[in-house]
């Protein structure tokens, strides 16, 4: 980890400890919709890309889920779900195993047993002792740390089959009040809403008219990674929809690096003032350091 990010991580840890005794908003009667509504009053929910905290935590791993969930209570843990040849659900971003594990081969052509023989590699290229987790294991770990699962689909073949399998697994884990399904597009958002009307969705939204045919109380609006869109964010908030924005992505658009470069990532707090409710990031520690009050507020909203 770069020295500046080490400092940010330490600052984040201190901020977490300082917030531990803060008053909470927890209410057993409030569903996930109402807890997301709370974000529009100055909260900034951290969505950790592939659940990663830093280079020591392999992406889409139980170690990453547990570390990030402990460091930022109530965080959203974004994970990628794929299906093996024998129909098992696992966490994997790529079509094959090569980049993130010691294994080889395409996920869709391998059985669960074959995938599980591989070991995950962390962000620095070190081999760990951790196998590729199953989706059920990941949901259990997210429940354990009190986070929110943000579930992306790695579709190979029949997308509705994967959608149905994921929805069934979320229901079986009793995670409906702690899970968000990421819709790749508006068409898939409507399919997912039909399959699981009780679940929240992250949906790509370019204007409020894109909400047509969806229940806005179930929608988190993904507004991309290129440029902040305060006017759209305010319009969405006016419709009861929480706006999302990504500071991650390709180097040409990735703000995470730019915000952390001078050791003062207060630009994340600026995004909150512009109306942002949820930020997708590769550097959760930097967000925590740059907007500690807003992140703490979100933690109270989502977890208590």
> For 56-93, how does the pLDDT look when each residue is reduced to its tens digit (9 = 90+)?
999 999 999 999 999 999 999 999 999 999 999 999 99
Would the pLDDT of 21 be above 70? no
More confident residue, 166 or 12: 166
Separation CA 193–CA 149 (nearest Å): 17
Lowest mean pLDDT among 17-26, 153-162, 257-266, 281-290: 17-26
* Percentage of the residues of the chain whose pLDDT score is greater than 90: 84
156 band by pLDDT with thresholds 50, 70 and 90: confident
Distance CA 132, CA 154 (A): 15
117 alpha-carbon distance from chain centroid: 27
- What's the pLDDT band for 198 if we cut at 50, 70, 90? very high
Helix, coil or strand: residue 292:
helix
Name, in order, each residue with C-beta under 8 angstroms of 239's C-beta and a sequence gap of 6 or more.
208, 211, 216
Instruction: Please state the separation of Cα 269 from the chain's center in Å.
Output: 19
What mean pLDDT is predicted for residues 267-290?
97
Mean pLDDT of 204-226: 95
How confident is the prediction for the chain on average, in pLDDT?
90
Mean pLDDT value across residues 179-201: 96
d(C-alpha 171, C-alpha 184), whole Å: 21
For residues 191-206, average pLDDT: 96
Q: How confident is the model at residue 291 (pLDDT cuts 50, 70, 90)?
A: very high
Question: Superfamily for 3-81+134-302?
Answer: Phosphatidylinositol (PI) phosphodiesterase (3.20.20.190)
Side-chain-side CA neighbours of residue 149 (13 Å): 34
pLDDT for 8 equals 44
CA-CA distance, 119 to 102, in Å (whole number)? Answer: 5
* Residues with Cβ within 8 Å of residue 102, at least 6 apart in sequence: 118, 119, 121, 127
Rounded to an integer, what distance in angstroms lies between the CA atom of residue 80 and that of residue 63? Answer: 15
Cα–Cα distance measured from residue 233 to residue 89, given in angstroms and rounded to the nearest whole number: 34
Quick one: which of 46, 44, 36, 47 has its CA closest to 275? 44
Weakest mean pLDDT among 50-59, 150-159, 224-233: 150-159
pLDDT digits (tens, 9 = 90+) for 91-141: 999 999 999 999 999 999 999 999 999 999 999 999 999 999 999 999 999
Q: Please check whether residue 94 is in contact with residue 108, taking contact to mean a CB–CB distance below 8 angstroms.
A: no
User: What is the spatial distance between Cα 20 and Cα 33, in angstroms, rounded to a whole number?
Assistant: 24
The answer to whether residue 190 scores a pLDDT higher than 50 is yes
Both tokens of 285, joined, read 């520690």
Residue 139 Cα to chain centre, angstroms: 13
- Percentage of residues of the chain with pLDDT beyond 70: 89
**24 has pLDDT over 50:** no
What is the pLDDT at residue 30?
A: 61
The residue assigned the tokens 């992505």 is: 249
Tell me the H-state helices in 94-185.
112-116, 135-145, 159-172
């Amino acid at each position: 980890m770069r020295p500046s990010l080490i400092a940010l991580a330490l600052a984040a840890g201190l901020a977490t400890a300082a917030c531990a005794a803060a008053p909470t908003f927890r209410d057993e009667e409030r569903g996930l919709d109402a807890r997301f509504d709370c974000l529009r009053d100055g909260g900034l929910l951290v969505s950790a890309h592939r659940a990663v905290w830093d280079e020591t935590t392999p992406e889409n791993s139980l170690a990453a889920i547990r570390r990030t969930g402990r460091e930022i209570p109530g965080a959203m843990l974004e994970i990628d779900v794929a299906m093996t040849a024998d129909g098992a659900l696992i966490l994997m971003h790529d079509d094959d195993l090569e980049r993130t594990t010691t294994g080889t081969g395409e996920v869709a052509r391998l059985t669960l047993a074959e995938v599980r023989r591989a070991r995950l590699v962390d962000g620095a290229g070190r081999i760990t002792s951790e196998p590729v987790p199953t989706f059920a294991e990941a949901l259990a770990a997210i429940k354990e740390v009190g986070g929110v699962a943000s579930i992306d689909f790695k579709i190979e073949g029949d997308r509705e089959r994967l959608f149905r399998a994921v929805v069934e697994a979320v229901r079986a884990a009793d995670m409906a009040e702690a899970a968000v399904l990421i819709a790749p597009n508006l068409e898939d958002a409507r399919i997912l809403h039909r399959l699981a009307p009780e679940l929240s969705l992250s949906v790509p939204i370019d204007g409020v008219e894109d909400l047509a045919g969806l229940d806005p109380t179930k929608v988190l609006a993904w507004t991309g990674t290129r440029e902040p869109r305060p006017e759209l964010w305010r319009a969405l908030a006016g419709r009861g929809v929480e706006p999302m924005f990504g500071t991650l992505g390709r180097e040409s658009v990735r703000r995470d690096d730019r915000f952390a470069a001078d050791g003062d990532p207060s630009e994340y707090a600026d995004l909150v003032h512009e109306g942002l409710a949820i930020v997708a990031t590769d550097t959760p520690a930097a967000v925590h350091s740059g907007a500690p009050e807003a992140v703490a507020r979100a933690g109270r909203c989502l977890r208590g």
